[in-house]
Amino acid sequence: MGTENRFKMSAERLAELKQELEYLQTVREKEVAELIKEARSFGDLSENSEYDEAKTEQGKLYSKIAELKNLIDNAEIVEMTGTAGKVGHGSKVKVRSEEDDTIEEYILVGSQEADPMHGMISSDSPFGRGLMGHGLGEIVAVDAPAGQFHYEILEIEN
């Protein structure tokens, strides 16, 4: 299977996904089955909104379980790859934008852990790829939909 079908993540994130899957398959699945059983007891299913809601919830649950299984089955564990003075997966990087002189700090993570609002950037994103392998003091060009941006690498923590 090609890497385009793989989901990069840390071993910790994979463990979280497995734990969530186990919870959904054991605890939550039983809860939803109980909701359906209870709703059936209310009588005519054709006019039973509780039954419809419970079946909808069951559909969402099975969809989430399938999604988690796919993520787990296609997980690619990515170890920290940053070396002394170079940006890699797991690096904490402080950069200065040459366009507006702002300073921002990011951590490069796998695609399943990315949370840009909290400074966690996917190493597969244009910004992440632009930083990978570069060193302290380098100016990197990042191609984005809005054009090309330039950043100076001010600090790297591996």
CA atoms within 13 A on the CB side of 34: 6
Type of residue at 145: P
Domains along the sequence of the chain with CATH: 3-77 (1.10.287.180), 92-157 (3.10.50.30)
What integer pLDDT is reported at residue 2 of this predicted model?
Answer: 46
What would the pLDDT profile of 64-94 be if each residue is shown by its tens digit? 999 999 999 998 887 766 567 789 888 899 9
In this prediction, residue 7 carries a pLDDT of 84
Say what the pLDDT of residue 3 is. Answer: 46
Task: Kindly give the parts of the chain with pLDDT less than 70.
Answer: 1-4, 45-46, 80-83
Q: What is the 3-state secondary structure (H, E, C) of the chain?
A: CCHHHCEEECHHHHHHHHHHHHHHHHHHHHHHHHHHHHHHCCCCHHHCHHHHHHHHHHHHHHHHHHHHHHHHHCEEECCCCCCCCECCCCCEEEEEECCCCCEEEEEEECCCCCEHHHCEEECCCHHHHHHCCCECCCEEEEEECCEEEEEEEEEEEC
Predicted TM-score (pTM) of the model is 0.66
**pLDDT of res. 24:** 96
Dump pLDDT digits (tens) for 22-37: 999 999 999 999 988 8
